[in-house]
Amino acid sequence: MKLVNRVLCLGFVPLAILLIACGGDDDSSPTSGAPTAPPPTNPTTTAANPAPSGPSISVADFSYSPAALTVPAGQVAIATRNMGPSPHTFTIDNVVDVQLNAGQSTAIQFSAAAGSYTFYCTLHGRSVMSGQLTVQ
């Protein structure tokens, strides 16, 4: 009888560990450790400082530079800088739409699955200002 109890007990320990390990909330935000942070309902956020590393795009003279960019899938962060005198946007239909004001640096963050996306400026049109984002 004791052996049965021991076997049952040992059987439950890994199960309990598994449940604890799976019960964790892995929805962690890299921006702050504040427990009162709202859930990421809005896919588009801007921060005061652009990401220190990673892809970046500068905008001037009605074009993006570079016009083609490859980023890892998931949470995408792109640092942008509008060098020109006119406002522009960084827009991917149904994914992200951020205004880039003249002379301003903007950190764009959004979620994207793997694929190829066309980003463009809604203020000047897809035929004037566009580029290609590859998410892989």
Candidates 18-26, 81-89, 90-98, 105-113; binding stretch for Cu ion (CB under 5 A): 81-89
Candidates 23-31, 34-42, 44-52, 125-133; binding stretch for Cu ion (CB under 5 A): 125-133
Q: Which is nearer to Cu ion, 129 or 135 (CB)?
A: 129
> Which 3-state string (H, E, C) describes the chain?
CHHHHHHHHHHHHHHHHHHHHHCCCCCCCCCCCCCCCCCCCCCCEEECCCCCCCCEEEEECCEEECCEEEECCEEEEEEEEECCCCCEEEEECCCEEEEECCCCEEEEEEEECCEEEEEECCCCCCCCCEEEEEEC
Q: Which is nearer to Cu ion, 97 or 111 (CB)?
A: 97
Decide: is 71 part of the binding site for Cu ion (CB under 5 A).
Answer: no
Q: Which is nearer to Cu ion, 103 or 115 (CB)?
A: 103
Q: Which residues bind Cu ion (CB under 5 A)?
A: 88, 121, 123-124, 129
